[in-house]
Amino acid sequence: MKMRLTFRSGIPVLLGLIVVGFLTNSIRASLLQGEIVSWPSRNSVVVALAATGLGLWAASTAWLAILGERGAGHRVDFLTAQLGKYLPGGVWQPLGQMGLSASRDVPGTRTLSAIGTYAVFQIIAGTLLLPILVVDSHLPPWVKMSSVGIAVLAVLVLWRADAWSTWLMKFRRTQRVEVVVQQLAAARRPEIIGLLAANMALQGVAFWALVGWSLGLSVVGAYSAAWIIGFLAVPFPAGLGIREGVLMAVLPLASAQIVTASVLQRVVAAITELSFVAASRVSR
């Protein structure tokens, strides 16, 4: 038992060191390009930390609702597994979540279906923020219209979720898909979507604070679009490269500025996750 507790306690520390090292190297690589980077002020970093913390609380609360569990332990496991998304490969986060949930006697099938459900709901929640791009004067009209159209489609999917689930069940090929579809139909949609939309918006605010306030609210919509595309394109790690490409296409900023702010946001998120985990350990 003592060895098991020591191993569990060491996971966040080990992941944190690896993540911070990897992200620091990414910042160094972007700076070597020779472009001038405007670093965020201390107040902007504080705003980013606060927004990230609130967003992670909302995301972990949504995870508990989907998983059907309660307690600080499951919340800490979620935040610990989140550290895996910053590592190359795109599989460490779900693998970590599966292992940590199994150690708390949560059936693997339930955890797996919850991971799929969470991902689908986060994508849908993110699309609801896309209409914010309408306020961006730099974007062409077709991009703005597309963002509104995608958001309307997401609302229709939510409104008729039960009917969509019934239709999808006709095409199921594996038990895994069946479990996910059933859980999508039964989940508390308004609560979960609201929490995940809040998480996406707050993460967007954190990026906005780090990249510079001068661009306006459209940064939040651009961040949401970049997150969705990066996720669907199999993140490596956490969409590093893919998401930055989307942000470069949307935001009128130098590439080094966007890459640096994006990596800094990941550092802020990793530090916040580690802080939550450490605070939970100390309070025990």
Rounded Cα–Cα distance for residues 257 and 264 (Å): 10
Query: Is 190 within 8 Å of 170 (Cβ atoms)?
Result: no
- Region of residue 23 (left: phi > 0; alpha: psi -120 to 50; beta: else): alpha
Query: Tokens 């965020």 map to which residue?
Result: 40
Q: Is residue 94 part of a domain?
A: yes
The distance from CA 186 to its chain's CA centroid, rounded to whole angstroms, is 23
Q: Is residue 53 part of a domain?
A: yes
Residue 3 identity (one-letter amino acid): M
Q: How many domains does the chain have?
A: 1
Query: Is 186 within 8 Å of 110 (Cβ atoms)?
Result: no
Residue 4: phi, psi to the nearest 5?
Answer: -65, -40
Q: How many residues does the chain have?
A: 284
Tokens standing for residue 273 = 């996750």
Instruction: For residue 91, name the pLDDT band (cuts at 50, 70, 90).
Output: confident
Which range, 47-61, 68-82, 171-185, 252-266, is most confident?
47-61
- Region of residue 71 (left: phi > 0; alpha: psi -120 to 50; beta: else): left
Q: Is residue 91 part of a domain?
A: yes
Model confidence at 39: pLDDT above 70 = yes
DSSP state of 1: -
The per-residue pLDDT of the chain, averaged, comes to: 76
Q: Is residue 118 part of a domain?
A: yes
What average pLDDT score do residues 177-197 get? 69
Rounded Cα–Cα distance for residues 282 and 19 (Å): 22
Q: What confidence tens digit (pLDDT) does each residue in 220-266 have?
A: 999 998 888 877 775 444 445 678 888 888 888 887 888 888 888 88
Q: Is residue 30 part of a domain?
A: no
Q: What pLDDT, on the 0 to 100 scale, is given for residue 252?
A: 83
Query: Is 221 within 8 Å of 144 (Cβ atoms)?
Result: no
Q: Is residue 199 part of a domain?
A: yes
Q: What pLDDT, on the 0 to 100 scale, is given for residue 8?
A: 46
- Pick from 182, 238, 227: which is nearest to 202 by CA? 227
Model confidence at 159: pLDDT above 60 = yes
Q: What pLDDT, on the 0 to 100 scale, is given for residue 223?
A: 92
What average pLDDT score do residues 3-32 get? 51
Q: What pLDDT, on the 0 to 100 scale, is given for residue 7?
A: 41
Q: Is residue 56 part of a domain?
A: yes
Q: What pLDDT, on the 0 to 100 scale, is given for residue 103?
A: 78
Q: What pLDDT, on the 0 to 100 scale, is given for residue 235?
A: 47
Q: What pLDDT, on the 0 to 100 scale, is given for residue 21?
A: 56
Model confidence at 14: pLDDT above 80 = no
In terms of pLDDT, which residue wins out, 164 or 117? Answer: 117
Query: Is 198 within 8 Å of 55 (Cβ atoms)?
Result: yes
Range of the structural domain that residue 260 is part of: 40-283
Q: What confidence tens digit (pLDDT) does each residue in 196-210 have?
A: 999 999 999 999 999
Q: What pLDDT, on the 0 to 100 scale, is given for residue 258?
A: 86
Model confidence at 86: pLDDT above 50 = yes
Query: Is 57 within 8 Å of 208 (Cβ atoms)?
Result: no
Rounded Cα–Cα distance for residues 203 and 197 (Å): 10
Q: Is residue 169 part of a domain?
A: yes
DSSP assignment of 134-148 equals GG-TTS-HHHHHHHH
